[in-house]
Structure 1
């Protein structure tokens, strides 16, 4: 063994060496106790290797004895260290031109559980785990097709990590695959811990708050995206998959929409869209109306508002910012605390603090209702990153409403729409199919058409194969007696 490998051995406390042939020590096994499977070593490798004649043994003899092939040969130290860190066992024979690695992985993996963040009533109830191989097998259970392509890459200069690129051969646009592949391969970073960090490195606009690649913990959603023409990325150690390209409208769509009938799915999507507008604009409208536009309030409601705000010492702008800040503080505290305590803080804290603030005269009952509706609406987004972006953007729009009233809201919304028009996802327009307008893709946007209208794949992904099924044949429903 060369000196550099011996230096690595000397500072690796969990590396163990087994001498197979006693005192001479010509044949040795190297493995990390924390990574390798102990049963493989003591029940398979050592008993079989001890049957060899150590006076004349060669590497081909070892390969035949334990069933290894040429692909398991290692010729340099970097390969040896890499395989040891993966949990494999390294077999070394003094004087041989190469060594061998025996596949082994003794690391503990989490069991497959139902999704925690993307919960569904209908549909499959399994979620990704931290093992890339397990996640890949979950996807292959949904797509048993030779057209499913998988490319393995390694990124990270200091701590390399395996990345898997998945796409459907003959369906996915090659430009989308090449764009994502090139961005991943050109990364020069120490390491990547999670796929959410990887998405920040490779997204089109790093200064935008809006998600330009979708993160999902659901294998069925990943499989559906692949069949539509999207590209998926898996990362070793990450319990999520990344899908791209993506559009803004897709962020309003939940996986469960596909399992409901079209009428129910359309209603739910419209409800989510309306909720996002509430979350973004409801409090700014309150501030603008009370500050500049009293005349639009009906007389009866105006009297009620005046009575509610009679004890409030702050102007509407400061009142709204204080309440929105308190709501965000309660939300963050509930998310960071242990689950049972977090739920208690969210419910009890919201009720107690809200009631105390009103009684103390720091805010009005009307604003409490509006802020609560806005917070509730932001939770309706199926995409957590979109909901977080809406909550942050609400504050500058509230500020503009307090300074310029309705004009300020119009300016804020105009800047927001302009920003969305400029965003791309893997080079594809973010606001498709609204801009540029694609009539055929509107059937699966804010409103979902009946499933028999989905004979063509979404054109926003530029799929190579447009057709999923023949709509005419799909509508043929003959009675079994005919």
Structure 2
């Protein structure tokens, strides 16, 4: 038997609806556009009639039959909303008499129960959530660490986070967003770690939203971020509960959206998008090596193809003589200038990537590999491009795929196109202009009002061990300063480096 709350505290104030079953049926039909899947079931007990109202397609039929209908059919004695409230074997029930509350809950899979001519009715949650089971992450695959990923159920997602952080200081605030499609949004943070200003910024941006619906957490992230016109994401989205756990322990805040399998994490800096939770599970030197590999790969991905265009167009003198002969022979039959050649094949790479992502998994992988080989080989033999450009573009594409975050990898691929154009027009000067422009832009971008390039700008050397590289755990005694945590200590500094055997 479930524990019952005080019924009087659950009663809503407001204009009550009609408790005549036929009249109520007409009232509710007018508010739901005469939907044919609305069911009003009547249970007769002696001279008493009890109405159960629900949408047939939204409820769990077996659960409602066992936990709601059977207990109602077994009622005896004096029947009112108190006895109905105490007989229902469902955990989430509330008392109301307002027609708007009834409609808003019915469309979310709740059943409404009332005795004819009584003063209040009962809302019982019997929704069929229709969510998939817990599975492996698809977009953030790992070799080490937990493989479990979020699902479309906000309850399951919160349960995964709470199972990782069983701290009574873990706070959950719930909001409802959307005028037409009401979505539940939960803000999660650790009270004595997360900075109050970051919490207030998130809370204000969520409550200030006025929109008809929120489809997914990625849409919500775009609506509450600082700058909507930049290519660079300012809030991280992740399907991994352990990434959310680490972020919360570092002083960040997470948002969960109902029916969305990804969480929003903020504030998120530019460097955070190149970090993987796998770096934490590996030894510190391996994790540092992999992070440096990613940063170098992204640097090559952005500048390698523009450098090829600039060198062949304006700066032949920087090419070694041995390579210059090979390069001249490779480009002798190519009819296009380097800038057009590079743009064409960058575009082809993007076509292959997009087609591979949209096709079924096995077909997409085969098409991407075979298509890349066939197009590359045929283009070289037909004289459309040189062998060296195929190699350079392949390295650039691989570099962009090393980023753990899909959004930052896409941003890198997009900004490569204007840099190639500037390299074709102005050579090395054009590349430096674009590089300086991007750097100035990143210095100006903020995430929840915090610097996006932190800890590089403003310079915080203490946070480098959490971003650009990793140190052994005994040196990670404090949380990242970038997040402005209230409780800065992670490990007692005096005991961090102590290692004693049993006999000591």
What does residue 380 of structure 2 align with?
Answer: 358
Supply the distance in 2 between the matched residues of 1:386 and 1:68 (Cα, whole angstroms): 45
What does residue 31 of structure 2 align with?
Answer: 8
Question: Does 2:232 correspond to 1:210?
Answer: yes
What does residue 44 of structure 2 align with?
Answer: 21
Supply the distance in 2 between the matched residues of 1:43 and 1:462 (Cα, whole angstroms): 51
Cα contact 1:245–1:428 (8 A) shared by 2: yes
Question: Does 2:71 correspond to 1:48?
Answer: yes
The TM-score, its normalising length taken from structure 1, stands at 0.97
Supply the distance in 2 between the matched residues of 1:51 and 1:458 (Cα, whole angstroms): 60
Pairwise CA distance, 1:77? 1.2
What does residue 32 of structure 1 align with?
Answer: 55
Question: Does 2:249 correspond to 1:227?
Answer: yes
Pairwise CA distance, 1:28? 0.8
Q: 1:426 aligns with which of 448, 472, 495?
A: 448
What does residue 486 of structure 2 align with?
Answer: 464
Tell me how many residue pairs correspond in the alignment: 481
Cα contact 2:67–2:89 (8 A) shared by 1: no
Deviations 1:73-123 (A, max 9, x none): 012111112222222221022222211012222232101001111111111
Deviations 1:39-73 (A, max 9, x none): 2332232222223348x522222223336899610
- Residue ranges of structure 2 left out of the alignment (5+ in a row): 1-17, 19-23
- Residue ranges of structure 1 left out of the alignment (5+ in a row): none
Cα contact 1:63–1:69 (8 A) shared by 2: no
What does residue 193 of structure 1 align with?
Answer: 215
What does residue 149 of structure 1 align with?
Answer: 171
What does residue 371 of structure 1 align with?
Answer: 393
Question: Does 2:400 correspond to 1:399?
Answer: no
The TM-score, its normalising length taken from structure 2, stands at 0.93
* CA RMSD, Structure 1 to Structure 2 (Å): 1.7
Cα contact 1:270–1:446 (8 A) shared by 2: yes
Supply the distance in 1 between the matched residues of 2:258 and 2:361 (Cα, whole angstroms): 27
Partner SS, residue 204 of structure 1 = coil
Pairwise CA distance, 1:254? 0.7
Residues 383 and 91 of structure 1: CA distance in aligned 2, closer, same or farther (over 3 Å):
same
Pairing of 1:399-418 with structure 2 (within 5 A): 399-418=421-440
Cα contact 2:477–2:489 (8 A) shared by 1: yes
Supply the distance in 2 between the matched residues of 1:234 and 1:387 (Cα, whole angstroms): 23
Residues 58 and 284 of structure 1: CA distance in aligned 2, closer, same or farther (over 3 Å):
same
Residues 210 and 9 of structure 1: CA distance in aligned 2, closer, same or farther (over 3 Å):
closer
Question: Does 2:121 correspond to 1:99?
Answer: yes
Supply the distance in 2 between the matched residues of 1:231 and 1:70 (Cα, whole angstroms): 27
What does residue 152 of structure 2 align with?
Answer: 130
Residues 100 and 451 of structure 1: CA distance in aligned 2, closer, same or farther (over 3 Å):
same
Residues 309 and 69 of structure 1: CA distance in aligned 2, closer, same or farther (over 3 Å):
closer
Stretch of structure 1 that moved more, 35-44 or 276-285:
35-44
What does residue 299 of structure 1 align with?
Answer: 321
Cα contact 1:19–1:25 (8 A) shared by 2: no
